Amino acid sequence: DAGVTQSPTHLIKTRGQQVTLRCSPKSGHDTVSWYQQALGQGPQFIFQYYEEEERQRGNFPDRFSGHQFPNYSSELNVNALLLGDSALYLCASSLAGGFTEQYFGPGTRLTVT
């Protein structure tokens, strides 16, 4: 049973560029959440997708956007990258039927120079 997978593993971008991160949920899961984890901090909720729509959003600017596909996989897009966007980006999947635990992927390490 495949768990949550994310790609790429590492990414280096320059300020002002745009980046797309990808996530495939655990088999049977239909909800994807994205988190940003800065160095030495706990993860912070960016947003959650269910039925191809953004259901919840944290305190992140509009530069952060996402998408969910019919197969439940998801993308996180960040435009106009800032140095402060350097972080580990974690994807988590869960079931939307009730509040259930979220299973995390290994993350994508984004470095903005």
Partner 1 sequence: AQSVTQPDIHITVSEGASLELRCNYSYGATPYLFWYVQSPGQGLQLLLKYFSGDTLVQGIKGFEAEFKRSQSSFNLRKPSVHWSDAAEYFCAVGAGGTSYGKLTFGQGTILTVHP
Binding site for partner 1 (CB under 8 A): 4, 31, 33, 35, 41-45, 48, 50, 55-56, 58, 90, 92, 94, 96, 99, 101-107, 109
CB of 75 to partner 1, least distance (A): 18
CA distance 63 to 18: 9
Three-state DSSP class for residue 30: coil
Q: Cα(67)–Cα(69) distance, rounded to whole angstroms?
A: 7
- CB nearer to partner 1: give 18 or 93: 93
Nearer to partner 1 (CB atom), residue 24 or residue 33: 33
Give the tokens for residue 37. Answer: 């984890």
CB of 77 to partner 1, least distance (A): 20
